[in-house]
């Protein structure tokens, strides 16, 4: 069931418990398309995505990443990777921002399609980057920014958390 955009943004939450059900390939493709729809500095698009549905590989990632244990019941994962040497200036400087925007689009698309998802850390922890790179055969010049486990949420009734804080806003001047 498709949701209104603001409703999707306001109700997205990190989901850490999945049912173990599969994620449809069409839905994964829609999430990847959402990722690639993100803005990027000078439109360099310094990103690449590894989409994983193989249980063996999901388990290897689960084993290697202490803060991504929800992978044990995830139906898929998308690993958002940065390509800092895609050009000599903008990609080097802005790949983290660009790939973070792509990641948020993936999180929102997953939620809009009725799945749960969560950003789990890889970069800048060199040990995590090394593990993820080795498990997924990612070339040395490509940096896995994160691992995004995706699945059907186990708790269908989880309530969105209100994060709006008036004190974070400074109208006109600080």
Ligand X SMILES: Cc1cc2nc3c(=O)[nH]c(=O)nc-3n(C[C@H](O)[C@H](O)[C@H](O)COP(=O)(O)O)c2cc1C
How many other C-beta atoms can be found within 10 angstroms of the C-beta atom of residue 10? 13
Minimum gap (Å) between residue 124 Cβ and ligand X: 10
Spatial distance between the Cα atoms of 13 and 157, rounded to a whole number of angstroms = 12
Per CB under 6 A, 119 contacts ligand X: yes
Pair of tokens at residue 171: 């109208």
39 vs 160, beta carbon nearer ligand X:
160
| 4-23 binders of ligand X (CB under 6 A) | 13-14, 16
CB of 160 to ligand X, least distance (A): 9
- Residue number with CB closer to ligand X (20 or 66): 66
Q: Which neighbouring-strand residues pair with 149?
A: 77
Secondary structure class of 30 (helix, strand, coil): helix
Beta carbons of 65 and 2 less than 8 angstroms apart:
no
Closest distance to ligand X from the beta carbon of 26 (Å): 25
List residues binding ligand X (CB under 6 A). Answer: 13-14, 16, 67-68, 118-121
């Amino acid at each position: 069931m498709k949701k209104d955009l603001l409703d999707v943004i306001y109700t997205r939450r990190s989901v850490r418990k999945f049912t173990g059900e599969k994620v449809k390939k069409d839905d994964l493709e829609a999430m990847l398309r959402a990722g690639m729809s993100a803005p990027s500095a000078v439109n360099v698009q310094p990103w690449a995505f590894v989409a994983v549905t193989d249980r063996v590989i999901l388990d290897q990632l689960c084993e290697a990443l202490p803060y991504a244990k929800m992978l044990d019941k995830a139906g898929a994962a998308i690993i958002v990777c940065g390509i800092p040497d895609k050009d000599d200036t903008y990609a080097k400087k802005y790949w983290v921002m660009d790939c973070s925007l792509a990641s948020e689009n993936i999180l929102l698309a997953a939620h809009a399609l009725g799945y749960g998802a969560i950003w789990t850390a890889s970069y800048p922890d060199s040990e995590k980057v090394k593990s993820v790179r080795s498990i997924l055969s990612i070339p040395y010049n490509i940096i896995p920014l994160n691992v995004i486990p995706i699945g059907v949420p186990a708790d269908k009734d989880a309530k969105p958390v209100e994060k709006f804080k008036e004190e974070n806003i400074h109208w006109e001047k600080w």
